[in-house]
Amino acid sequence: MAAFDDRVVLVTGASSGIGAACARAFAREGARLLLAARRVERIRAEAPRLSGLGARDVRAVRLDTRDYDAVRAALGDLPAEWEEIDVLVNNAGLSRGLASLHEGSLDDWNEMIDTNVKGLLHVDRVVVPGMAARRRGTVVHVGSIAGRQAYPGGNVYCGTKAAVKAITDGLRIDLLGTGVRVATVDPGMVRTEFSEVRFHGDRERADSVYRGMTPLAADDVAEVVVWIASRPAHVQIAEVVVLPADQASATHVHRRT
Ligand code: NDP
Ligand code: 8X3
């Protein structure tokens, strides 16, 4: 029997990168996958592969986490067989721009704050009450090393991820005694679409972020998420910082070229 046989695992931001890797990793554990993102067609295209890996069922949900009413409609009134969410991987997020704060774009700031902070809160607000009522569940927030250390041009993105860290700690305190566990996984550099999104589609600039070093793969992070969720019920992993061997802090990166 696989570790998550028939258990419902919700992953936000499942159309790409770390979220898509979490979907694959939980599929291998026999989970029933509830997968959300705006680009739901990508998730639908991936569903046969996820079933092949071992997912018991896959349900794709088109969702913009910035819209609280949409989150409530999509996740607050699920069919009975999907409503007992056992693991929430609250991962949807993004970075926009790398400008100094005094030269930053208000649009970029709003998009990051609305997605990384408010979007994460929207999903928690809808999903966590059920976990608390059932006295069972695991919430994994995907934060970042950027929430622990600011770096040049990181300003608002770092601020949103520092908020994720504080929200994670607050949620863990508020859920004390319910049996619901709360973790943050805070990666360093991971090769996904993250940098392409940050630089508004500039692939060359995105590629230069990883020049001469070996970043994490999304699957490396997913492995940590599954490990957290599969600990015995009395064990709560509160936080994991996971870095490439070539990275020592937000600003210390070893490059071979
Ligand atoms: P990707 O760009 O590859 O994936 C981001 C995911 O978030 C996509 O599935 C995207 O789906 C989803 N998303 C973005 N905005 C929204 C929204 N408004 N509503 C719903 N889904 C949304 O990047 P990563 O996989 O790297 O990023 C995942 C998380 O990991 C983010 O929170 C990021 O901050 C964090 N992180 C990333 C690191 C890295 O170096 N890559 C390091 C540390 C943390 P869609 O566009 O289809 O809606
Ligand atoms: C992503 C990691 O350091 O590129 O959160 O901001 S970093």
Structural domains present in the chain: 8-242 (3.40.50.720)
Distance 82 CA to ligand 2 centre (A): 33
What pLDDT score does 257 carry?
A: 74
Q: Which tens digit of pLDDT belongs to each residue from 168-196?
A: 999 999 999 999 999 999 999 999 999 99
Evaluate if residue 1 carries a pLDDT over 90: no
Residues with a CB atom less than 6 Å from ligand 1: 12-19, 37-39, 63-66, 91-94, 115, 119, 142, 144, 187, 189-190, 192-194, 197, 218
**pLDDT tens, 220-247?**
999 999 999 999 999 999 999 999 999 9
Say what the pTM is. 0.98
Cα 245 to Cα 8: distance, rounded to the nearest angstrom = 33
Query: What distance lies between CA 34 and its chain's CA centroid?
Result: 14
Q: What percent of the chain has pLDDT over 70?
A: 100
- pLDDT of residue 2 exceeding 90, the answer is no
The whole-number average pLDDT for the span 7-12 is: 98
137-142 and 190-191 beta bridge pairing:
unpaired
- Express each pLDDT in 200-220 by its tens digit: 999 999 999 999 999 999 999
Tens of pLDDT, residue by residue over 18-68, are 999 999 999 999 999 999 999 999 999 999 999 999 999 999 999 999 999
Ligand 2 binding pocket mutation candidate from 16, 112, 145 (most atoms within 8 A of CB): 145
12: which 2 tokens? 């936000």
Res 3: pLDDT? 82
Task: Tell me if 189 CB under 6 Å of ligand 2.
Answer: yes
Strand partners, 184: 141, 239
**Residue 154 corresponds to which amino acid?**
G
Give the pLDDT score at 185: 99
The count of other CB atoms within 10 Å of the CB of residue 110 is 14
Residue 208 is predicted with a pLDDT of 98
Run of H or E residues at 119: none
Question: Probe ligand 1: pick from 12, 94, 120, 165, max atoms within 8 Å of CB?
Answer: 94
